[in-house]
Amino acid sequence: MTSEPRKIRWGILGPGTIAKAFAGGVAHSHTGELVALGARNPGKSGLADNFPGARILDGYDALLADPDVDAIYISTPHPSHAEWAIKAAEAGKHVLCEKPMGLTAFEADAMIHAARKAGTFLGEAFMYRLHPQTAKLVELIRSGAIGEVRMVKSSFGFAMPDFMPEHRLYANDLAGGGILDVGGYPVSMARLIAGAALGKPFAEPDKVAGAAHLGQSGVDEWASALLHFPSGIVAEVCCGISLAQDNVLRILGTKGRIEVADFWYASGREGGTGEIRIIRPGGEELVEVREDRWLYAFEADAAGEAILAGKQEFAWPGMDWADSLGNLRVLDKWRAAIGLEYEIEKPEKRVNTISGRRLCSGGTTIPKREIPGLPPPASCLALGFEDFRTFSSGMILLDAYFEAGGNVFDTAYIYGSGYTETLLGQWLKNRGVREQSVVIGKGAHTPLCYPDVIGKQLTQSLDRLQTDHVDVYFMHRDDPDVPVDEFVDAMDREVRAGRIRGPFGGSNWTRERMDEAIAYAERTGKQKPGALSNNFSLAEMLVPIWPGCVTSSSDEWKAWLTARQMPNFAWSSQGRGFFTGRAGRDQRDNEELVRVWYSEKNFGRRDRAIELANRLGKSPIHVALSYVLAQPFPSVPLIGPRTLDELEDSLQALDIALSPDDIAWLDGGSDQHPARRTG
């Protein structure tokens, strides 16, 4: 007697029309059964009828705490997807999240990070991608049924009866509009077809241009985008909630075209026959895809099969994590092109972390140290963040760094044309952590490297940062034609005015100029330069990465820094990829790496970093970062992670405790192999 195969016990988080459709899919699936429903209003009429057999639980937290639920289907409005997917992963639940996975690719990345850490499944519910009709369509493209693909045209648009401000599709705070609600369908299909033409699972466009009409509530009521792929394929995609469109997928090739109406419904919600029309100069061919299974059963089974197999992502043609991230990056660019940032994404309403909780202080993963002249203890790693252009995207990383114990933030007047300072200022005010934070400012960058611009730029920086002082300030470049006393005088004035509360110094300054500036300050009773921000790494920078850059990695520099006990906030502390697989003696494709870092001396250091990393169960970049941390002078590496995974990866270096002998061996000055040391 054989036992029946185990079934995935599904819980639905948030009742609604799409949740009801998924419940029907689970009922007709092979791998799952619906056992529970989490509802904010469990007494609402009709729930028992719409979700037969499901226990109705009071609230979403109750669903996540239910030990008889294996997997959660999230069907709440878009803004709460990230919060509940992360909480579900933390509760050990697998997640199938209705599209879009998050409001942005940054949110989706945080959700993926949580699932990866928890070892749970996370998938985005584009139901059409799992239907046999989609696989057939890809097969036709790959077989050359219409020759070489040149263009894709697709739309998903409908007309609501009227403008209804209370409806989720028009509600700004619920991220309404067409792009996030239905625009992801034609975009995902275009990326799928562009990939199929190349024999790949999907392809990413290299250019995205968009236009839209923003209605009374500020959401996109109808919108269009043009996608260009590196292969030359062009895709025109349209969507709308206030404009009915033909909703036909058209794939144009050199020998004909393919047309599919309402491709996301495939053969129908409850099964039927789907039609793919192939139109060539000689006539028309109809390819029918007969499928009796319910549309939503395919995604339920694909998720169930992945979970039962211990997988964390959908198998193709479902959308894996890279596919979901790529799709959202296109939607992000589409929204950026039309200037659509929802009110719910702005600082005033983003008062919690991505997981829906208040920001926590007191983290100890990143230890703190005393820096001469700086009153508050400073974390041993400083965070730089030039890549974010909205508060909602940047806050995810800022929150995570702070909760890990980080409190040193590296900004500059020129970064992002001032947006980096603006974003940090919004975050500091929104989170109420200015007094716990160490803010680094920089100004007087080439070509405006003059003493008289320091005060003017600092005024603008403080305005952007929404504070009356910075804690550390660097002259971002040096101008050797200007006497050092003029720079010191300008900085000293800001110290006396209380606008610089800690040390100041030079970024990309030479030892000679620093010595001269210190001597002048000591003679005249001015505050002397007390910090530096030069490149410092296990790999010595051979030529400047950018004009005016200075490295401090030579033996002479190390001796000077040690003798003066000069704090150095080290940029490019991990060699900008030199200690990763991007570099190698036979790899010459990256011009910057070859020009700046390639030398036999540096490769010897890299070899030793790899050897030590293998012993420690770490990566060479972890060894490279720990090398900077272990110097005999105050050394604070600047790290620039773009994602939570990259941040956590950097933090692994904190487990490594290098001795002076280890440092000497890595440098190449000792033949003694280091013992294994971890902190």
Closest CA to 234 of 206, 212, 198, 263: 206
Q: What is the pLDDT of residue 387?
A: 84
Task: Provide the domain limits for residue 388.
Answer: 361-533
Structure tokens at 129: 């991608």
Tell whether 405 is covered by a domain. yes
Active site residue 456: no
CB-CB contact of 253 with 148 (8 Å): yes
9: helix, strand or coil: strand
Please say whether the beta carbons of 632 and 596 come within 8 A.
Answer: no
In terms of C-beta density within 10 A (0-12 exposed, 13-18 middle, 19 or more buried), how is residue 547 classed?
exposed
Residues 506 and 611 in one domain: no
What is residue 84's three-state secondary structure? helix
Residue 219: C-alpha distances to residues 75, 99, 328, 611 (Å):
20, 18, 17, 55
> What is the predicted pLDDT for the residue at 679?
42
Q: Is residue 305 part of a domain?
A: no
End-to-end CA distance of the chain: 54
Residues 177 and 214 in one domain: yes
| Residues 216 and 333 reside in one and the same domain | yes
> Is pLDDT of 3 > 70?
no
Domain boundary among 70, 104, 127: 127
Q: Running DSSP on this structure, what letter comes out for residue 182?
A: I
**Sheet bearing 55-58, strands edge to edge:** 55-58, 32-39, 8-13, 71-74, 94-98, 122-125
- What does the pLDDT look like over 262-286, one tens digit per residue? 999 999 999 999 999 999 999 999 9
Strand segments, DSSP code E, in 332-485 are 368-371, 374-379, 382-384, 408-410, 438-443, 472-475
User: For the residues 602-627, what does the mean pLDDT come to?
Assistant: 97
Domain stops at, among 69, 101, 127: 127
The verdict on 546 and 622 lying in the same domain is yes
Residue 560 within any structural domain of the chain: no
How far is it, in rounded angstroms, from Cα 187 to Cα 371? Answer: 50
Give the pLDDT score at 79.
97
Calpha distance 252→150 (Å, rounded): 6
Check which CATH number belongs to the domain holding 87 and give it.
3.40.50.720
Same domain, 468 and 457: yes
For residue range 552-611, what is the model confidence (pLDDT) as tens digits? 999 999 999 999 999 999 999 999 999 999 999 999 999 999 999 999 999 999 999 999
Report whether 207 contacts 228 (CB < 8 A).
yes
Q: What does the block give as tokens for 188?
A: 């995902």
393 lies in the same domain as 525: yes
Q: How confident is the model at residue 677 (pLDDT cuts 50, 70, 90)?
A: very low
Residue count of the chain? 679
Residues 336-369 pLDDT 10s? 999 999 999 999 999 999 999 999 999 999 999 9
Q: Which of 20, 93, 99, 618 is catalytic?
A: 99
User: Could you tell me if 139 and 101 lie in one domain?
Assistant: no
Kindly state whether residues 116 and 134 are assigned to the same domain: no
Question: Are 110 and 39 found together in one domain?
Answer: yes
| Mean pLDDT of all residues belonging to the chain | 96
Asked if the structure places residue 304 within a domain, the reply is no
User: Residue 283, class by beta-carbon neighbours within 10 Å (0-12 exposed, 13-18 middle, 19+ buried)?
Assistant: exposed
pTM above 0.85, yes or no: yes
pLDDT confidence tier of residue 4, bands split at 50, 70 and 90:
low
DSSP 317: T
407-424 CB burial, b ≥16 within 10 A, e <16: bbbbbbbbbbebebbbbb
Q: State how far the alpha carbon of 384 is from the alpha carbons of 339, 381, 443, 462, 575, in Å.
A: 26, 10, 15, 17, 15
Task: Identify whether the C-beta of residue 26 lies closer than 8 Å to the C-beta of residue 10.
Answer: yes
Would you say residue 566 lies in a domain?
A: no
DSSP-based three-state secondary structure for 116: helix
> What's the number of CA atoms in the CB half-sphere (13 Å) around residue 383?
35
Task: Answer yes or no: do 88 and 132 share one domain.
Answer: no
Last residue of a domain, one of 476, 507, 533: 533
CA-only gyration radius of the chain, Å: 29
pLDDT digit string, tens, across residues 453-494: 999 999 999 999 999 999 999 999 999 999 999 999 999 999
State yes or no: pLDDT of 651 exceeds 60: yes
Report the share of the chain in percent with pLDDT over 70.
98
Q: Under DSSP, is residue 553 helix (H, G, I), strand (E, B) or coil?
A: coil
Q: Are residues 109 and 132 in the same domain?
A: no
Question: How far apart are alpha carbons 185 and 126 in whole angstroms?
Answer: 8
Tell me 385's DSSP state: -
Return the CATH number at 163: 3.30.360.10
- How many domains is the chain built from? 4
Please check the confidence at residue 500 and state whether its pLDDT lies above 90.
yes
Q: Which residue has the tokens 């199929």?
A: 196
Closest CA to 345 of 390, 386, 388, 389: 390
Containing H/E element for 533? strand 531-533
The verdict on 96 and 119 lying in the same domain is yes
pLDDT band at 5 (very low <50, low <70, confident <90, very high): confident
In a domain, 677, yes or no: no
